[in-house]
Amino acid sequence: MKSKHTTEIASLGEFGLIDRLTSRLALRSGTTLKGAGDDAAVIDLGDDVLLLTTDMLTEGIDFDLSYFPLKHLGYKAIVRGVNDILAMNARPEHVVVALGVSAKISVEALDELYEGMEHACNELGIDLVGGDTTASMNGLIITVSATGRAKKEDVVYRNGAKEHDLICITSNLGAAYMGLHLLEREKRVLQDVENPEPKFEGHEYLLERYLKPRARTNVLEALREEGIRPTSMIDLSDGLASDLRQICRASECGARIYLERIPIARQTTELAEEMHIDPVIAALNGGEDHELLFTVPLDKQEAVMRLGLVDVIGHITRPESGVILVTPDGEGIALKAQAFDR
């Protein structure tokens, strides 16, 4: 008897797996405007729409409790969930949290985790309205489901980018990835040291970007005040290269971004060079930045630049042009999605 052929998940990659699993899902409810394939699902409520999304963090994959403070972890979990709502140009309203808890986690530790969650909710003006708790055999698992609301005409999808649109990001890239590398390095170096004292001086910004990312609600508010509606948008969680390709795939377009326009913080460059990592690779593929990547019409360039809150790093092109990184000497390099899996 022949054994049944099986496919390894790694051969598909994250996005290939998602496509395979969701391609069979037909939309049966007339109120579902968008199902899988964007940062959040969109449900018709009449003039308004309801946004729904969920995000999971797993110990040993997404975080390491040996160096990740639980208050920061709780804060980051909420921001990660809410960012998917923001990436649809909607206002977040509620979160629901489900936990898988192992025997090694104390009640006091969970108090710290929820203290961080509460802090994030206070900052964002949202309510944590419930959830679920179950036992876990493999460490701590956190699942955050978030809801938001927007006018139907205000929702921004990934598939709206048009030729000549400007490509914008809300802050510098690669800092979170280098913050993670710093924490991992100090963990290795101090593994067998009694009373370890990690060397974080001068790198505090990188640690904050990884441990406590901030939701860019101020940017969306500023865009609304200027009357600017992005044509497409995505949460920068998998790296610029990967997430830009997601927009181009959904919008059936190409893109050109310029290396000298990609903002990279000084601390990111310094630590990357110290650790023999190319800071450009960290910026393109590091992930975990949780900034917003979006496009706006070319005629909004002056208004966008006037905000002082975003960097314009390129423009949208025809699909046959591909997704290209242009170096300072004018060379065009095809951009590949190489997001780091954690």
Per residue in 11-54, pLDDT tens? 666 666 666 766 666 667 678 888 888 899 999 999 899 999 99
138 and 226: one domain?
no
Q: Mean pLDDT for the chain? A: 92
The predicted pLDDT at position 189 comes to 87
Question: Both 112 and 230 in a single domain?
Answer: no
Domain of 69 in residue numbering reads as: 9-154
Say if 340 falls within a structural domain.
Answer: no
Q: Are residues 177 and 326 in the same domain?
A: yes
Does residue 163 sit in the same domain as residue 20?
no
* Mean pLDDT of all residues in 298-314: 95
Residue 342 binned pLDDT confidence (cut-offs 50, 70, 90): very low
What letter does residue 105 receive in the DSSP assignment? -
The DSSP secondary structure of 181-242, one letter per residue, reads: HHHHHHHHHTTT-SS-----TT-HHHHHHHHS----HHHHHHHHHTT---SEEEEE-S-HHH
Cα separation, 45 vs 182, whole angstroms: 46
* SS3 label, residue 319: helix
Asked, for residue 141, whether it belongs to a domain, the answer is yes
96-136 per-position pLDDT tens digit:
999 999 999 999 999 999 999 999 999 999 999 999 999 99
**2 part of a folded domain:** no
Q: Specify whether 150 is located in the same domain as 232.
A: no
Counted domains in the chain: 2
Does residue 3 surpass a pLDDT of 70?
Answer: no
Report the C-alpha gap between 169 and 330 in whole angstroms. 22
pTM as predicted? 0.91
Q: Mean pLDDT, to the nearest integer, of 280-298?
A: 95
176/124 same-domain check = no
CA distance 253 to 251: 5
- Asked whether residue 342 is domain-assigned, the answer is no
Looking at residue 176, its pLDDT comes to 97
Q: Do the Cβ atoms of 224 and 89 come closer than 8 Å?
A: no
**Residues 244 and 290 grouped into a single domain:** yes
In a domain, 233, yes or no: yes
The answer on 137 and 165 residing in a single domain is no
The answer to whether residue 299 is domain-embedded is: yes
**334, 16, 159, 245: CA torsion to nearest 10:** -20
- Per-residue pLDDT tens over the stretch 136-181: 998 999 999 999 999 999 999 999 999 999 999 999 999 999 999 9
Residue type at 229? R
Residue 287 pLDDT: 86
Tell me: do 274 and 146 sit in the same domain. Answer: no
**Other CB atoms within 10 Å distance of the CB of residue 262:** 20
CATH number at residue 224: 3.90.650.10
CA atoms within 13 A of residue 50's CA, in its CB half-sphere: 11
137 and 124 in one domain?
yes
Question: Are 109 and 171 part of one and the same domain?
Answer: no
Does the pLDDT of residue 302 top 70, yes or no?
A: yes
Q: Does 221 lie in the same domain as 164? A: yes
Q: Would you say residue 144 lies in a domain?
A: yes
Is 194 inside any structural domain? no
